[in-house]
Structure 1
Amino acid sequence: MRLASVIKGGVAIAALGVIVAWVVTRPDPLPDDAFAGLTPDVAHGEQVFWAAGCASCHAAENAEGEAKLVLSGGMAFASPFGTFYAPNISSDPDHGIGSWSMQDLGNAMMRGVSPSGQHLYPAFPYVSYAKAETQDIADLYAFLQTVPADATPSRPHDMPFPFNIRRAMGGWKFLFFDTDWVLTGDLTPEETRGRYLVEALGHCGECHTPRNALGAMDRTRWLAGGPTPDGKGKFPNITPAALDWSKADIIEYLTSGFTPDYDSAGGHMALVVQNTAKLPETDRAAIVAYLKKVPPVE
């Protein structure tokens, strides 16, 4: 009888654990009225598009000029968890996101949830985009409806077991999906704008902040640099401990890609500069004001 009671108790505990895990890992989309009452601004949506770096990952490799707006996807991102491929986010209704609603885009960018209700992998930087303003997402949605349609199918991610279990991403989100601002305290309007551009739309921390064993950003070493996900290089430290360029030098770098030593941006950073160059100079200055305010990390 005692053994039977122990077995029953164990089964009950296991069942409770399964229920708790199912609840914890469930997708958590935005409220249905998240975009109610918003009027999209297509022109401003283009500015959000460049600030958010959409073309850097979703345009075809080596695309230039107007071809940067053909968001056919395909860029590969190797990581310790598998290889991710940027999807087609063109206006094509079948292979892109042309059939998505504004709510669908908001759920993907701010909650990491697909239109079918599945978790998205955080290689798509929704942990950062989650801090975006819903008006900006609405404006971006309106702009994305205007980009060319492309019928290139999205390439499936190459994820080994157990990382191919999307439901498990709910547990990752439960542990690491932190939408609080990193830099807090008294900020000027310019520094506040810079924080929004760096921490939210620009998602700079996604590359320049080291990650833990489960791939989450180590916010205690914010923007301190670290190894690239493929293990073949390093992202630089861009806190004041290492980035000691003047404000004018950094603004110039974000405009032309040229460093004070007459070098130029390379790799993926060259794509980032193509984006920041399209922003108003006040935004580039705001980014610099924020970077100068970030605590130095050796």
Structure 2
Amino acid sequence: MNITRNLILLSSLWCSVSALATGFEGPQSDAVSRGAYIFDIGGCASCHTNKQPLGGGVELVTPLGTFISSNISSHQQFGIGGWTNAQFIKAMREGVSPDGEHYYPAFPYTSYANMPKQDLLDLKAYLDAQEPVAEATLPHGLTFPFNQRALLGVWKLFNTGDQWISDPSQSATWNRGSYLANGPSHCTQCHTPRNFIGGLQLEKGMVGNEQWPDGEKVPPLVDANQLGFGGWSQDDIAFALEVGMTPDGDFLGGSMSHVLENTTGKMTPDDIKALSEYLYSLNNP
């Protein structure tokens, strides 16, 4: 198993070197290229690509009904190409559309609210530079009363947590990892249990979610009994985030396969290190 792991690690390192050579990692020279990396660490492709990139149409089947992701391409009519910067930021941070409608929290704006303005503007610059997709977004198929969008204003009053802030007692690397997990990469959205109306039970932490879409059970990232994930080293966590292999030689599957493909698998080595340091600290305070 050590030979297999070393071979995979070498392959991963080669991919990292290749990415550095093509300029997709490290300092970015303009808003579009910076936005491309933010798009990756946000995992946007996983939720908004079904038939065509950024065209939406991905279904999330939940106990509340079926959510369908939106078209976020640069199309003026069907996508977000006609949005102003202010409208985009309001949608990302407050979950409100340019028409004043509330977005459902299947769109994780409660995490994106933690992103600085410049990151959001860079992300929009990248999206605006992509090909438009002439594909209308289908309506959600939700049960009553969850299909009453106006009630989301009340929902937000009880299910919006405090904005993320850095912890001066921790290292810069730890704070970067905390920002990724609670902001653009939104680990909390998947690994934190939700209440009966879909709000995150943030006080419980990332102890897993038994009711993820399509009946999937999301495992915990916080393990008080030091079993499973709680027994992993920081290097184990980093290796799993990068290539998807667990310490016992198994591979991560389910929704995590999309995360590996579209999010953590595209992170810089520094961000992998930061995220693994933060996650390790949750189990080893």
Q: For the superposition of Structure 1 and Structure 2, which TM-score range results when normalised by the shorter chain?
A: 0.7 to 0.9
Match of 1:285 in 2: 273
1:251 pairs with 2:203: no
Alignment check: 8 A CA contact 2:45 2:54 kept: yes
Alignment pair present for 1:164 and 2:150: no
1:98 aligns with 2:86: no
The question of whether the paired residues in 1 share the 8 Å contact of 2:207 and 2:223 is answered with no
- Output the CA distance in 1 between the equivalents of 2:133 and 2:180: 29
2:192 aligned residue: 209
State the match for 2:160 in structure 1: 177
Say if 1:85 and 1:155, in contact at 8 Å, map to a contact too: yes
- 1:56 maps to which of 38, 41, 46: 46
Report the counterpart of residue 111 of structure 1 in structure 2.
Answer: 94
Deviation of 1:232 after TM superposition, in Å, equals 2.1
Instruction: State the partner residue of 2:216.
Output: 233
8 Å CA contact 1:183–1:294 kept in 2: the answer is: no
Question: Does the C-alpha gap of structure 1 residues 245 and 182 become closer, same or farther in structure 2, counting only changes over 3 Å?
Answer: farther
Structure 1, unpaired ranges of 5+: 1-38, 62-66
Q: Which residue of 2 aligns with 1:44?
A: 34
Percent identity (aligned): 38
Output the amino acid matched with 1:168.
L
Gaps of 5+ in 2: 1-28
Residue 210 of structure 1 deviates from its aligned partner by 0.7
SS of 2:215's partner is coil
**Residue 40 of structure 1 contacts residue 138 of structure 1 at CA under 8 Å; is this kept in 2?**
no
Contact 1:254 1:276 in 2 (8 A): yes
Match for residue 77 of structure 1 among 49, 54, 60: 60
Counterpart code for 1:178: G
Q: 2: CA distance between counterparts of 1:112 and 1:296?
A: 34
Q: Which has the larger radius of gyration?
A: 1
For 1:111-190, list aligned pairs within 5 A: 111-181=94-164, 186-190=169-173
In structure 2, what is the equivalent of residue 264 of structure 1?
Answer: 251
* Secondary structure, counterpart of 2:47 in structure 1: helix
Deviation per residue, 1:136-177 (Å, 9 max, x gap):
001101001112211111111112222122121011101111
- What CA RMSD, in Å, does the superposition of the two structures yield over aligned residues? 2.1
Where 2:40 maps in the other structure, the secondary structure is helix
Partner Cα distance (2:188, 2:166) in 1? 12
* Conservation of the 8 A alpha-carbon contact between 2:49 and 2:55: yes
TM-score by length of 1: 0.79
* 1:279 partner amino acid: M
In terms of mean alpha carbon deviation, does 92-101 or 112-121 score higher?
92-101
Q: TM-score, normalised by structure 2?
A: 0.83
Tell me by how many angstroms 1:286 deviates. Answer: 0.4
**1:232/1:96 CA distance change after superposition, 3 Å:** same
2:5 corresponds in structure 1 to none
Matched, 1:224 2:212: no
